[in-house]
């Protein structure tokens, strides 16, 4: 898995700052390693996991480079969104 991660990093480095054909010189590629995830759950599921989910999301908010949000809907369901810059491999966050 580490070799795969190394190859990904090298590929990003090769793309960084390049201009794609058909684009203007100021439209350069900017590469970032990002992690995005979202989870939607119904009201009954949210009621069961709320006590565990809320502190977990709060701990994510204290991490540098991590953004998360909890969207609650009128019907009681919710959606959790998490985004993070990948200073570490995704499975370590």
Coil, strand, or helix at residue 16? Answer: coil
Query: Residues 53, 56, 61, 66: is their CA dihedral positive or negative?
Result: negative
pLDDT tens-digit profile of 24-61? Answer: 889 888 777 788 889 899 999 988 988 998 898 888 88
At residue 87, the pLDDT reads: 56
At residue 64, the pLDDT reads: 83
Does residue 19 carry a pLDDT above 90?
no
Q: Which residue has the higher pLDDT, 26 or 90?
A: 26
CA distance 72 to 46: 10
43 close to 79: Cβ distance less than 8 angstroms: no
- pTM for the predicted model, two decimal places: 0.57
User: What's the mean pLDDT in 58-87?
Assistant: 86
| Residue appearing with tokens 């684009």 | 23
At residue 2, the pLDDT reads: 60
């Amino acid at each position: 898995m580490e070799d795969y991660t190394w190859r990904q990093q090298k590929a990003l480095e090769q793309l960084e700052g390049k201009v794609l054909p058909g684009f203007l010189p100021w439209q350069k590629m900017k590469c970032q390693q990002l992690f995005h995830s979202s989870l939607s759950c119904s009201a009954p599921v949210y009621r069961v996991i709320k006590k565990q989910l809320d502190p977990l999301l709060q701990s994510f908010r204290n991490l540098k480079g991590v953004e998360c949000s909890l969207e609650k809907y009128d019907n009681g369901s919710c959606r959790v969104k998490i985004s993070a810059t990948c200073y570490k491999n995704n499975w370590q966050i």
